[in-house]
Amino acid sequence: MNKLTASNIASFINQLDKKAAYNYLDPKNKGLIQIVEVELPEGPIKIKRWNPTKKQTPSSKKIEPISTEMIWRIANAFSPNQPINFDRVLAGSYNTRSVLESLLAHTSQFYYCYPGRIEDKGGTTKIKDGHKHLIWLPDNPHQQGISMKTETSVHISEIPSIDIYYDPVTLPDDILNPTIDVNIQKRHAQIQFLLYKIGYQLGYSTWIAQNDKGIKYQDKKFGEYEGIVSSLRNKNNLIGKFEEAISSALLIDCIWFKNGSLMPAVMEIEHSTGVNSGLLRMKKLYNHISNFKTRYVIVASDDDRDEVIRKANAKDFADLNTRFFSYSAVEELYALCQKRKLKGVTEEFLDCYMEPILVN
């Protein structure tokens, strides 16, 4: 069997002991999972999940479904001996994706693994520790009901297929922060400019933080580029009617507006040490416009993903339902915009790049 179907996956999970409680693959998640029912042939799979460290019990939790659509998307992603990353396959969608991943890992043909990640810096290629993947090994089954790790010689390339070239960035003296490495500040400005360029290509107008408008890129100030919002007090910028919201938004790194009636994303570009400050700025804005539909996004280095997830899941920031937009994803989307000149895509297209990171 070289391809899986939803029926295969539903059948595999249906063979697990429904009286047992199963652990998540992430050791930091102390929750437990129990299978209530599997509707054959293709699902849904009904489960309960609870966290005993929080004094929760299965009797107090509601039954949740793992949808047939989700099962099919995962089935279609698998090929023998090829690791897959659930979050990438599902584009961060579905709040039960970690449940399905964990249950599948407890069936006999699936293992979890950490394929090496190829990284290219300064012309030097290195193999770094990779992220957790699931791998289907139908010819090498393990004991049913337990999850097992396997080694793999597969390497995952995250080197962009298109090189991104940055022109020199000039940081005026009144913007330079002597307490932060200048290269970090320049990297911040580079990513900020890419966000503007992505927004411009997608037909958005872009707010750049008031104190960053004097940064020069290609010898031109950020604030002088076409499509940059000059003032948030313009009523066409959606929040222009709300003085307290305007005050809260002034120093936010990047906000996209569309057609004067939509706000696709509010974004803070952060190094790992600054994640809290970015979350606090977005939370302050959220408190004034909580009824507005938008995405609250932390943009950061790929290596800072775990730290962003940890801090974004603090109780004070749960309302933001924060998303993570990695530098590599920014560069990938920018490259796609430049190569294909994207037009007419829906807002939901952004969800393919902005990963929801709120832990259920």
pLDDT, tens digit (0-9, with 9 covering 90-100), for 189-223: 999 999 999 999 999 999 999 999 999 998 899 99
Res. 114: pLDDT tops 60: yes
Res. 123: pLDDT tops 80: no
To 5 degrees, how large is the angle CA 158–CA 184–CA 272? 70
Q: For the chain, what is the mean pLDDT?
A: 90
Residue 89: pLDDT band by 50, 70, 90 thresholds?
confident
Q: 337 or 127, which is more confident?
A: 337
Q: What are 302-348's pLDDT values in tens digits?
A: 778 888 999 999 999 999 999 999 888 898 899 889 888 888 888 88
Q: How far is Cα 232 from Cα 249, in angstroms, rounded to an integer?
A: 8
Say which residue the tokens 């339902």 belong to.
321
Residue 121: pLDDT band by 50, 70, 90 thresholds?
low
**What integer is the mean pLDDT of 20-25?**
96
| Percent of the chain at pLDDT exceeding 90 | 64
Q: What are 135-180's pLDDT values in tens digits?
A: 999 999 999 999 999 998 888 765 455 667 788 899 998 889 888 8
Res. 2: pLDDT tops 80: no
Res. 258: pLDDT tops 90: yes
Residue 44: pLDDT band by 50, 70, 90 thresholds?
very high
From the number of C-beta atoms within 10 Å of its C-beta (0-12, 13-18, 19+), residue 27 rates as exposed
End-to-end CA distance of the chain: give it in Å, rounded. 34
- pLDDT value of residue 224: 96
Q: How far is Cα 253 from Cα 267, in angstroms, rounded to an integer?
A: 6
Q: Among the listed ranges 23-32, 35-44, 165-174, 224-233, which one has the minimum average pLDDT value?
A: 165-174
